[in-house]
């Protein structure tokens, strides 16, 4: 079905195609009947392959990464497509327009996207007004960021503010300090800033936990462009502050020589196939350092069940996707989960976590 829709969408400017698709998904989300039809066509065909991550139960290990549904307009429809988790956002405390358009580019020859959206966000209030969470929806992650006008030294105020306001509505919260499109944001990955930020967030989480009588897991989303030393520092800090997960990775600012598309030199973050091995390498480096104390969510360039399997073997407990979903459409969710289930049984296991435990050691 997507093979008919895609050529039409790809005739449009990428951001317009995105907005149009999201409006359709938002419309479906408002109708329980249409959501059920979507589930029958797509979600119902995705096999079950349960995993646990951050103490949450996921029906299978494959979810939607942040950035597609920035304003929480389409959780019911995205769940009905078959994702076991949907990360919404990045949402900033106050509304802001993001960067000037055009700011999203398709690189079809490279199976990639470059974006410099710059946290276009309707703000937390609008996000929470939009958010509808039916009982059968996927695990709902909320990804938070800082406003462009907030100085880096004050960034913790924005993150704590956003966290407190979304806390009651989230199954987990992601702290995004790795978008390349907000000036100096990635400086928050440096030791002194990060130590302070994580300290503020954990203190605020303790307070929220008491108020809401529920512990919401917190994940940190990192860039694929980190050096080995930076990875070591971040790993030490997330372990000492008892974060629940690291999401590896966001988009890259690097431009591999292999890129062929005319848009290859646009400024912004590159995602899709060219980021795959960098992102997997990042997981491979984090895995022994986190030592099972903090879990890993793998994202970046997943297209096939082989790519997904490779990230799981490298140490990921859960997986997300964005770019290839744009290129391939919703049928890929079933294909990948089915492919993973096949690999689990080919290796003689009945569930994914036992397969990973045995195969990662081997
Ligand atoms: C158009 C676009 C917008 C994105 N916006 C966000 C965002 O708001 N917050 C975030 O944490 N990641 C964002 N991302 C990054 C993705 O969540 C993901 O980490 C990255 O694209 C790598 O995965 P992929 O290769 O499967 O796309 C965005 C990616 C794209 C392509």
Per-position DSSP letters for 166-209, written without gaps between them: HGGG-SEEEEE---TTSTTGGGGGSHHHHHHHHHHHHHHHHHHH
CATH code at 2-361: 3.20.20.70
Alpha-carbon distances of 34 from 38, 79, 93, 319, rounded to whole Å: 6, 13, 32, 27
**CB of 283 shorter than 6 A to ligand 1:** no
Query: Which of the pair, 249 or 10, is modelled with greater confidence?
Result: 249
Distances (CA, A) of 287 to 154, 236, 353: 31, 12, 15
67 ligand 1 Cβ < 6 A: yes
Nearest to 352 by CA among 307, 291, 300, 308: 308
What are the tens digits of pLDDT across the range 182-231? 888 888 888 889 999 999 999 999 999 999 999 999 999 999 999 999 99
What is the structure's pLDDT at 279?
98
The pLDDT of 322-336, averaged and rounded, is 96
Measured in degrees and rounded to the nearest 5, phi and psi for residue 82 equal 120, -5
Query: In sequence order, what are the residues at sequence separation of 6 or more whose Cβ sits closer than 8 angstroms to the Cβ of residue 31?
Result: none
Q: What distances in angstroms separate CA 240 from CA 206, 235, 340, one per listed residue? A: 15, 9, 33
Give burial (CB, 10 Å; 0-12/13-18/19+) of 16: middle
| Pocket test residue of 123, 271, 276, 279 for ligand 1, highest count of atoms within 8 A of CB | 271
Helix, coil or strand: residue 28: helix
- Tabulate helix, strand, coil % of the chain (nearest 5): 50, 15, 35
Question: Region 257-264: what's the mean pLDDT?
Answer: 97
Burial class (CB in 10 A: 0-12, 13-18, 19+), 167: buried
Flag whether pLDDT at 361 surpasses 80.
Answer: no
CA angle 100-102-104, nearest 5°? 115
Contact 88, 66 (CB under 8 A): yes
Assigned token pair, 286: 């984090």
Q: Is the CB of 176 under 6 A from ligand 1?
A: yes
In 10 A of CB 8, how many CB atoms? 10
What region, left, alpha or beta, does residue 147 occupy, with left being phi > 0 and alpha being psi -120 to 50 degrees? Answer: beta
Task: Give the residue-averaged pLDDT of 73-83.
Answer: 98
Report the alpha-carbon distance of residue 253 to residue 224 in Å, rounded: 9
With the most atoms of ligand 1 within 8 angstroms of its CB, the residue from 15, 64, 67, 115 to mutate is 67
Contacts of 235 (CB under 8 A, 6+ apart): 246, 286, 289, 290, 294
Is the CB–ligand 1 distance for residue 275 below 6 Å? yes
| Ligand 1 atom index nearest CA of 117 | 3
> What are the catalytic residues?
179
pLDDT at 362 over 70: no
The structure's pTM equals 0.98
Q: How far apart are CA 279 and CA 283, in angstroms?
A: 7
Of 133, 138, 141, 196, the C-alpha closest to 166 is 141
Query: Which spans in the chain are helix H?
Result: 2-9, 14-29, 32-41, 75-80, 123-130, 155-166, 191-212, 228-240, 276-290, 305-314, 323-328, 331-346, 352-361
143 in contact with ligand 1, CB cutoff 6 A? yes
pLDDT higher than 80, residue 122: yes
- Percentage of residues in the chain with pLDDT exceeding 90? 93
Rounded to an integer, the average pLDDT of 171-182 is 94
């Amino acid at each position: 079905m997507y093979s008919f829709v895609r050529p039409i969408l790809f005739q449009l400017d990428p951001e317009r195609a995105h907005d149009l698709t999201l409006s359709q998904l938002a419309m479906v989300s408002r109708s329980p009947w249409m959501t059920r039809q979507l589930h029958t066509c797509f979600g119902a065909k995705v096999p079950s392959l349960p995993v646990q991550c951050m103490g949450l139960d996921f029906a299978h290990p494959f979810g939607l990464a942040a950035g597609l549904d920035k304003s929480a307009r389409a959780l019911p429809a995205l769940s009905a497509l078959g994702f076991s988790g949907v990360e919404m956002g990045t949402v900033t405390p106050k509304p802001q327009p993001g960067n000037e358009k055009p700011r999203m580019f398709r690189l079809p020859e490279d199976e990639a996207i470059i974006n410099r959206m710059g946290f276009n966000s309707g703000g937390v209030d609008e996000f929470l007004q939009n958010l509808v969470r039916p009982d059968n929806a996927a695990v709902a992650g909320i990804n938070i960021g800082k406003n462009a006008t907030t100085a880096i030294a004050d960034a913790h105020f924005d993150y704590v503010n956003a966290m407190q306001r979304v806390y009651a509505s989230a199954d987990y919260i992601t702290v995004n300090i790795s978008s390349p499109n907000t000036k100096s944001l990635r400086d928050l990955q440096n030791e002194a800033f990060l130590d302070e930020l994580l300290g503020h967030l954990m203190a605020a989480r303790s307070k929220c936990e008491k108020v809401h009588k529920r512990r919401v897991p917190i994940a940190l989303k990192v860039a694929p462009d980190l050096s080995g030393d930076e990875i070591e520092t971040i790993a030490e800090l997330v372990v000492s502050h008892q974060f629940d997960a690291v999401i590896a990775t966001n988009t890259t600012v690097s431009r591999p020589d292999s890129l062929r598309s005319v848009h290859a030199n646009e400024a912004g973050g590159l995602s899709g196939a060219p980021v795959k091995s960098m992102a997997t390498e990042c997981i491979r480096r984090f895995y022994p350092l986190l030592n099972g104390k903090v879990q890993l969510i793998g994202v970046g360039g997943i297209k096939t069940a082989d790519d997904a399997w490779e990230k799981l073997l490298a140490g990921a407990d859960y997986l997300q996707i964005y770019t290839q979903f744009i290129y391939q459409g919703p049928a890929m969710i079933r294909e990948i989960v089915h492919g993973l289930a096949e690999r689990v049984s080919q290796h003689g296991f009945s569930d994914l976590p036992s397969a990973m435990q045995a195969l990662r050691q081997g």
